[in-house]
A and B are shown apart, each in its own frame.
Chain A
């Protein structure tokens, strides 16, 4: 006869406990067996209990308290037996779903791997070596101190200046020749 139907409801509901007690008293007065049972059940939960008036067929009740949506901190299971006192079971272990457990372990593994890589790499002798830490780089991410193009560019610049100097010398030489020729002419005139 002991039908144990679990009903899920929350502890915190806007129902006031006083009204709850009142209804139980009214039920007691009516002396119906069902209402008696219900009065027991509700009296067992006199602190912070609630009762839904429409659910008279419920044989057991489970109350949960959650810290997080997925993390159940405490559960209270109340079983009603015919003609006996109610069995009240408090469970205060954490209840995690399979998915939540999987997530936790995944996170744990990933964190471990990342930690191994990160803290392992900080101990890498290459990053402390001269090869990596020496001066250099041109700010472009190319860690090369002297680029071939740079050398060639400066060589070309030097070439340009060389030619310019040659040109100027030629011009100056021409001018000098002209001057000398002019002087000679002057001497000839004299």
Chain B
């Protein structure tokens, strides 16, 4: 008991110091009376490794602050602004009696210290996420946004994404503003660039996260937003030179293409965001969830009714080959579209439910009509929001590795996912069994060689519920 209390009295960062001398610590914690543990200098002597795993993520950059020797081990923290998560809404209510609209401060409210949490605990009130990539990458960022929401209660999350990626946030209720700005552009329009810097600066962010691999250029863009924490991925090669100077936290991905990481492509960032702090345990990464508004559902229902199918009696087919930008592929898996002939073979065996072909561009409609027939149900959908609504009303999904797979997993619809290789399948749908998702992968590593018979056998799962009814 006493040892437990004494351990609690210690500031938290001391705790991870112990692994380097586990035997001493073990004996110390077994003592019933361990007053010396309060002595910070002694606990320092116990372990002389400077700062082992508390700063595991922060590669200390001596250029940023040459006098930053880490946390002071002799510092004593109270629990006031240093422990636990931040408050949901620290703003006191407005005083109803006051004609000038002043706030009504409760007794003992110190305006001067109210913002201390921002400094000590590292509160984040406004957070901006700059996300590179298209729909798929943005969709996979949803769990991270949820994590931020859970880790920093009351945070306002804004998003900066490419025009296509921005459409994804129709499905996300946790985001406040979503602005279209293509961070991937190497030579942005100077007017747009400066305008965006001005907008971001005006919003006074506490933290700006970026999933674009930053070099000096992108790092200076983040720096100019004057956010307190500038967190970004950096290039894993020489291109990252100088970026660390302008960023407060950097992640080095394993390879140049972040999307190769599959479903957990942002794992370094989520690791860091969910890191344990004083009085806060590690924040688990929530599963991918999307929410679809009623308006959107109604709109899409009208759309697929026009195409000739009813709610709950169709299968969504997604991943028809075309050169459209709206095919919602991942950047980590370029071989993820099947020609319409293959789709015709796959869907030929489906009976009981109707396949709905999702085309990313109107020009594909003719091809589909040529091969499937005039009576084929075709829905033109280019935004992830409508696709999600369509999937939500369907029996299931047959799709190659496009956003449709992730959306069906998020809405917990049965899904047959066609992958070019087994490794890709494991990367992009990590726990397929739990998610009602059947992965069928090509043996040769080329998606076009995929075994049609296996798919035909798998497709039968969509007919079972009807047979039961």
Main secondary structure of the interface of B (DSSP, over half): mixed
**Residues on the B chain within 8 Å of A160, using CB:** 173-174
Alpha-carbon gap, A156 to B172, bound state (A): 7
CB of A181 closer than 8 Å to a CB of B: no
Judge if B105 is at the interface, Cβ distance under 8 Å. no
Which residues on the A side are within 8 Å of B170 (C-beta)? 152, 155-156
B177 at the A/B interface (Cβ < 8 Å)? yes
Once the chains bind, are A155 and B177 in contact (CB under 8 Å)?
no
Q: Give the shortest distance, in Å, between A147 (CB) and chain B (any CB).
A: 10
With a cutoff of 8 Å between Cβ atoms, the chain B residues found around residue A162 in the complex are 291, 293-294
Contacting residues, chain A, for B175 (C-beta < 8 A): 156
User: In the complex, what's the smallest C-beta–C-beta distance from B142 to chain A, in angstroms?
Assistant: 13
Instruction: Kindly state the separation between the CA atoms of A152 and B291 in the bound complex, as whole angstroms.
Output: 14
12 A-B pairs whose Cβ atoms sit less than 8 Å apart in the complex: A149-B177, A152-B178, A153-B176, A155-B170, A156-B169, A156-B170, A156-B172, A156-B175, A158-B293, A159-B293, A160-B173, A160-B174
Interface residues of A in 123-170 (CB under 8 A from B): 149, 152-153, 155-156, 158-160, 162-163
Q: How many A-B residue pairs have CB under 8 A?
A: 29
- Quick one: which of A92-149 are within 8 Å of B by CB? 149
Q: A159-B291, A162-B293, A162-B294 are in contact. Are A149 and B179 (CB under 8 A)?
A: yes
In the assembled complex, the CB of B112 is this many whole angstroms from the nearest CB of chain A, namely: 30
* Residue of chain A at shortest CB distance from B179: A149
What 0/1 readout, one digit per residue, does chain A (73-105) give for beta carbons within 8 Å of chain B? 000000000000000000000000000000000
Residues in B whose Cβ lies below 8 Å from that of A155: 170, 293, 295
Inter-subunit contact A153/B177 (CB<8 Å)? yes
Q: Contact check, A156 vs B176: say whether CB atoms are below 8 A apart.
A: yes
Docked Cα-Cα span, A149 to B170, in Å, equals 11
Q: Which residues of B contact A153 (CB under 8 A)?
A: 176-178
Q: How big is the A interface, by class?
A: 10 to 19
Give the distance to chain A from B161, nearest Cβ to Cβ, in Å.
12
Interface bin, chain B? 10 to 19
Please list the 4 inter-chain residue pairs (A to B) with the smallest Cβ-Cβ separation, ordered nearest first.
Answer: A160-B173, A159-B293, A159-B173, A163-B291
Determine the chain A residues whose CB is within 8 A of the CB of B169 once the complex forms: 152, 156
Give CA–CA (A45, B88) in the complex, Å. Answer: 95
Residue contact A156 to B179, C-beta cutoff 8 Å: no
- The chain A residue sitting closest to B198, CB to CB, is A140
Q: Which chain B positions have C-beta within 8 A of A159?
A: 173, 291, 293
Beyond the given A152-B178, A162-B291, please list 17 additional residue pairs across the A-B interface where CB-CB is below 8 A: A149-B177, A149-B179, A152-B169, A153-B176, A153-B177, A155-B170, A155-B293, A155-B295, A156-B173, A156-B176, A158-B293, A159-B291, A159-B293, A160-B173, A162-B293, A162-B294, A163-B291
A149 partner residues in chain B, CB cutoff 8 A: 177-179
Residue of chain B at shortest CB distance from A150: B177
Tell me which residues across on chain B come within 8 A of A163, comparing CB atoms: 173, 291
What residues on A are CB-neighbors of B294 within 8 Å? 162
Q: How far is the CB of B297 from chain A (nearest CB, A)?
A: 11
Cα–Cα, bound, A152→B179 (Å): 10
Closest Cβ of chain A to B194, distance in Å, is 13
Least distance between A156 CB and chain B CB atoms (Å): 6
Q: Restricting to B279-304, which residues have a CB under 8 Å from any CB of A?
A: 291, 293-295
Q: How far is the CB of B409 from chain A (nearest CB, A)?
A: 19
Complex CA gap A159/B293 in Å reads 5
State the Cβ distance, A148 to closest chain B Cβ, in Å. Answer: 9
> Quick one: CB contact mask for B163-205 with A, threshold 8 Å, 1 for yes?
0000001101111111100000000000000000000000000
Chain A residues whose C-beta falls within 8 Å of the C-beta of B173 in the assembled complex: 156, 159-160, 163
**In whole angstroms, what is the CA distance A85 to B294 when docked?**
113
Cβ-closest chain A residue relative to B294: A162
- Whole-angstrom distance between the alpha carbons of A52 and B176 in the complex? 88
A180 to chain B, nearest CB (A): 27
Q: How far is the CA of A66 from the CA of B178 in the complex (A)?
A: 70
The smallest C-beta distance from B199 to any residue of chain A, in angstroms, reads 9
Residue numbers in A under 8 Å from B291 (CB-CB): 159, 162-163
CA A24 – CA B321 in complex, angstroms? 116
A83–B175 alpha-carbon span in the complex (Å): 106
In the complex, chain A residues whose CB is within 8 Å of the CB of B293: 155, 158-159, 162
* Chain B proximity of A178: nearest CB distance (Å): 24
Residue of A nearest to B199 (CB): A140
B178 CB contacts on chain A under 8 angstroms: 149, 152-153
Output the least CB separation between A67 and chain B (Å). 51
Residues of chain A contacted by B174 (CB below 8 angstroms): 160
The winner among B174, B177, B294 for most chain A CB atoms within 10 A is: B177
Q: Once bound together, how far apart are the Cα atoms of A160 and B176, in whole Å?
A: 10
**Roughly how many angstroms separate A160 CA and B291 CA in the complex, as a whole number?**
8
**For residue B289, which residue of chain A has the nearest CB?**
A163
Cα–Cα distance between A159 and B176 once the two chains are bound (Å): 11
A146 to chain B, nearest CB (A): 15
Could you tell me the distance in whole angstroms from the C-beta of A126 to the nearest C-beta in chain B? 22
Give complex CA distance A152, B294 in Å: 14
B177 CB contacts on chain A under 8 angstroms? 149, 153
Chain B, residue nearest A148 (CB): B180
Bound-state Cα–Cα, A136 to B310, Å? 44
Q: How far is the CB of B169 from chain A (nearest CB, A)?
A: 7
Question: Whole-angstrom distance between the alpha carbons of A158 and B176 in the complex?
Answer: 11
Complex-state Cα separation, A162 to B294, whole angstroms: 8
From A152, A156, A160, residue with most partner B Cβ within 10 Å = A156
What are the residues of chain B within 8 A of A152 when measuring CB–CB? 169-170, 178
Cα distance, A162 to B177, chains bound together (Å): 18
CB distance from B346 to the nearest CB of A (A): 34
